[in-house]
A and B are shown apart, each in its own frame.
Chain A
Amino acid sequence: MGEFRMPSLGADMETGRLVEWLVLPGESVKRGDIVATVETQKGLFEIESFEDGIMGEPLVPAGTEVSVGTVLALILPERTATVAESGTTVSPAAAVTMASPLPLTATPEVSVTPAQPPAQPQRITASPSARRLAAELAIDLAAIRGTGPHGVIQRGDVEQAAQARDAMPRTTDSAQPATAGSIHPGMRQAIAAAMSRSNREIPHYYLETEIDLSRPLQWLEAENRQRSIRERILPVVLLVKAVAKALRDVPELNGYWLDNQLQIQPDIHIGFAVALREGGLIAPALHGVDQLSLPALMAAIGDLIDRTRTGRLRGSEMTDATISVTNLGDRGARTVFGVIYPPQVALVAFGRIMERPWAEGGMLGVRRCVTATLAADHRATDGHCGSQFLEALNRHLQQPEGL
């Protein structure tokens, strides 16, 4: 017996609105299947099941805002039918949020969001693929009649609606895709809540080091010369991979501060800060970064940036980062001091890569450098540990062939 609960998609999240059920009662679900979409202050997310089973009747109708931890539906074991008493399964998502008590029963609607977008007037059921296509083509699902089982809107229905629309004469050329451009009203409040909690609770310490990137960048440029433009690897990929390798050397920075103790995590999931064009910031997780080759990591970063900017992140990507990285690339400020995202215990920040004077062996030269800054939780680690991490980071970057 499993309980499908409103997940916590970050330390700052208190409630979420169940937007849509994507699996009908009686259908079988596998661990990792997307079951529902949930809207938080940060946008719309796809939520996966954490177990195999048969989808039970929804306990919460689409369109309802509920507290984190509220049971949304039961996931029944295969070949079992009726609803039973609450189980005690703790999903990975719930495990991350132990810092705040999880309400076990549904609570009355709580509104912490000052401005919500208008609620959908009725329940719309559509296949995930139809839903995506509708978003891409800026088609309103509410205006479509579904031809699938139980009136579910399918991909073909959306294509037909798009054809019908495009056949109509356009009065203006300025139609914008529905997903682009509009700042999510709660985004600022969500960031405010998380960062206030961080600064209130986490005694940060900061370490900074200057890293000479000349050799790794020359190596990367030689590699990229053999690649088509589509396969070219950006410098940030070297930085993120080196962080993962350095965390294998100094694992104390990879984990959570929960229940008054450091809980080091075995997997390295790096929360990668992505700025949204309309303003605001999301740091979804790149999973198992130490296991990825550089081309695979480049592909994962590209995919994550695209999905962050089009609102297609998964719930798990919002919950399981074990450390965060922020990177300014080749524009912007020289040094960044990060604010840790609780319950994580560290954040690594890279400023702008730029040419600087560099003294070595009694000679002064010009090198391409980056300032790497570590913000870490002093409850969990000390400066000595942080310093070892930055040294390991530099060591791995100076051997790019091994990344």
Chain B
Amino acid sequence: MTEQELQAIIFAELKKVAPESDPTGVDPTENIREALDIDSYSFQRLLVGFSDQTGIDIPEEDYAKVSTVAGITAYLAARLL
């Protein structure tokens, strides 16, 4: 998987939980849940989506590391690329 493919997966999954938004327009260092108004249930759905697409199951203690687009990208890239 390339970094571009990973980016595409991340944006597609964000779009699923926040269908009316444009995730590509979010500042990569902004808290994604604040920026896209994602509640705790939708956040879990988002992580299930990442798990389905990448096989990576993010444990609860790492949730703080995946609070931004940049954080999610780095976290998944470190385990995939």
Mask: chain A, 47-69; 1 = CB below 8 Å from B; 0 = not: 00000000000000000000000
Mask: chain B, 29-60; 1 = CB below 8 Å from A; 0 = not: 00001100101110010011001000001111
User: Complex: how many Å from CA A194 to CA B65?
Assistant: 42
Q: Which of B19, B47, B57 has the most CB of A within 10 A?
A: B19
Mask: chain B, 1-37; 1 = CB below 8 Å from A; 0 = not: 0000000000000000011100000000000011001
Known: A177-B19, A230-B51. A236 touches B37 (CB 8 A): no
User: Complex: how many Å from CA A235 to CA B18?
Assistant: 22
In the assembled complex, the CB of B11 is this many whole angstroms from the nearest CB of chain A, namely 13
User: Complex: how many Å from CA A86 to CA B18?
Assistant: 48
User: Complex: how many Å from CA A101 to CA B20?
Assistant: 41
Chain B residues whose C-beta falls within 8 Å of the C-beta of A278 in the assembled complex: 20
User: Complex: how many Å from CA A236 to CA B43?
Assistant: 14
User: Complex: how many Å from CA A330 to CA B57?
Assistant: 21
- Determine whether A176 belongs to the interface, using a CB cutoff of 8 Å to chain B: yes
User: Complex: how many Å from CA A343 to CA B37?
Assistant: 31
User: Which of A180, A181, A229, A235 meets B48, CB within 8 Å?
Assistant: A229
A interface size (C-beta, 8 A): 23
User: Complex: how many Å from CA A293 to CA B61?
Assistant: 24
Of all chain B residues, which has the CB nearest A234? B40
In the assembled complex, the CB of A344 is this many whole angstroms from the nearest CB of chain B, namely 23
In the assembled complex, the CB of B59 is this many whole angstroms from the nearest CB of chain A, namely 7
Mask: chain A, 278-300; 1 = CB below 8 Å from B; 0 = not: 10000000000000000000000
Are A329 and B39 interface neighbours, CB within 8 A? yes
For window 142-160 of chain A, which residues contact chain B by CB distance below 8 Å? none
User: Complex: how many Å from CA A224 to CA B59?
Assistant: 9
In the assembled complex, the CB of A396 is this many whole angstroms from the nearest CB of chain B, namely 21
Known: A176-B19, A230-B51, A331-B33. A225 touches B39 (CB 8 A): no
User: Which of B18, B20, B41 meets A305, CB within 8 Å?
Assistant: B41
- Determine whether A302 belongs to the interface, using a CB cutoff of 8 Å to chain B: yes
Chain A residues whose C-beta falls within 8 Å of the C-beta of B19 in the assembled complex: 176-177, 180-181, 277
Chain A residues whose C-beta falls within 8 Å of the C-beta of B48 in the assembled complex: 229-230
Chain B residues whose C-beta falls within 8 Å of the C-beta of A229 in the assembled complex: 44, 47-48, 51, 57-58
Are A331 and B34 interface neighbours, CB within 8 A? yes
- Determine whether A367 belongs to the interface, using a CB cutoff of 8 Å to chain B: no
Are A331 and B39 interface neighbours, CB within 8 A? yes
In the assembled complex, the CB of B46 is this many whole angstroms from the nearest CB of chain A, namely 10
Are A232 and B44 interface neighbours, CB within 8 A? yes
Of all chain A residues, which has the CB nearest B50? A229
Are A181 and B44 interface neighbours, CB within 8 A? no
Are A277 and B18 interface neighbours, CB within 8 A? yes
Chain B residues whose C-beta falls within 8 Å of the C-beta of A181 in the assembled complex: 19-20
- Determine whether A133 belongs to the interface, using a CB cutoff of 8 Å to chain B: no
In the assembled complex, the CB of B54 is this many whole angstroms from the nearest CB of chain A, namely 12
In the assembled complex, the CB of B37 is this many whole angstroms from the nearest CB of chain A, namely 7
Are A225 and B40 interface neighbours, CB within 8 A? no
Are A225 and B60 interface neighbours, CB within 8 A? yes
Chain B residues whose C-beta falls within 8 Å of the C-beta of A234 in the assembled complex: 40-41, 44
Of all chain A residues, which has the CB nearest B38? A331
For window 161-210 of chain A, which residues contact chain B by CB distance below 8 Å? 176-177, 180-181
- Determine whether A340 belongs to the interface, using a CB cutoff of 8 Å to chain B: no
- Determine whether A122 belongs to the interface, using a CB cutoff of 8 Å to chain B: no
Chain B residues whose C-beta falls within 8 Å of the C-beta of A331 in the assembled complex: 33-34, 39-40
In the assembled complex, the CB of B10 is this many whole angstroms from the nearest CB of chain A, namely 16
Are A236 and B44 interface neighbours, CB within 8 A? no
Residues of chain A at the chain B interface (Cβ within 8 Å)? 176-177, 180-181, 221, 224-225, 228-230, 232, 234-236, 275, 277-278, 301-302, 305, 329-331
Known pairs A225-B59, A277-B19, A278-B20. 5 more at Cβ < 8 A?
A: A180-B19, A224-B60, A230-B48, A232-B44, A236-B41
A-B contact pairs, 24 of them (CB 8 A): A177-B19, A181-B19, A221-B60, A224-B60, A225-B59, A225-B60, A228-B51, A229-B47, A229-B48, A229-B51, A229-B58, A230-B48, A230-B51, A232-B44, A232-B60, A236-B40, A275-B39, A277-B18, A277-B19, A277-B20, A302-B41, A329-B39, A329-B41, A331-B40
- 3 closest A-B pairs by beta carbon, nearest first, are A180-B19, A329-B40, A181-B20
